[in-house]
Amino acid sequence: MVFSELKKLFTEKEYRLFLILTLWLIIGFTLFQFSDIIPYQVSLAFYPPLLGICIALFVASAVLRIELRKANYKTILIIVVIAVLISIFFSALWTMLYVGLYIIAVFSYIFITAVFYMYSCYKYGTDWDQDLKDLKTPLNKILRWFVFLGGTVLSLVIIFVLMRIAMIAFYIFVIMIALAILGVLTLIKGKFNAWLGTFFLWVALYSVYLILSVFMALGQQNSDQGLLINIGFYVFDLFMIIYVIASIIGVKTEVLSKQFKFLKPDAILVWLIFSKAAFELGKALYEISPSGISLMNISVVNSILGYVLFIPLFLIAGIYGIYKFSVRKDDEDEKKIENSN
Residues 229-251 have a mean pLDDT of: 76
pLDDT band at 57 (very low <50, low <70, confident <90, very high): confident
Quick one: three-class SS letters along 132-159?
HHHCCCCCHHHHHHHHHHHHHHHHHHHH
User: Quick check: 334 pLDDT over 60?
Assistant: no
For 82-134, what is each residue's pLDDT tens digit?
777 766 766 656 556 656 666 777 778 778 777 777 878 888 888 888 888 88
Which residues have CB under 8 Å from 316's CB, separation 6+?
A: none
Rounded (to 5) percent helix, strand, coil in the chain: 85, 0, 15
Burial (CB < 10 A; 0-12, 13-18, 19+), residue 95, is: exposed
Q: Which conformational region is residue 224 in: left (phi greater than 0), alpha (psi within -120 to 50 degrees), or beta?
A: beta
Across 81-85, 158-162, 333-337, least confident range: 333-337
Q: What is the pLDDT of residues 213-236, one digit of tens each?
A: 777 766 655 445 566 777 777 887
* pLDDT at residue 336 greater than cutoff 60: no
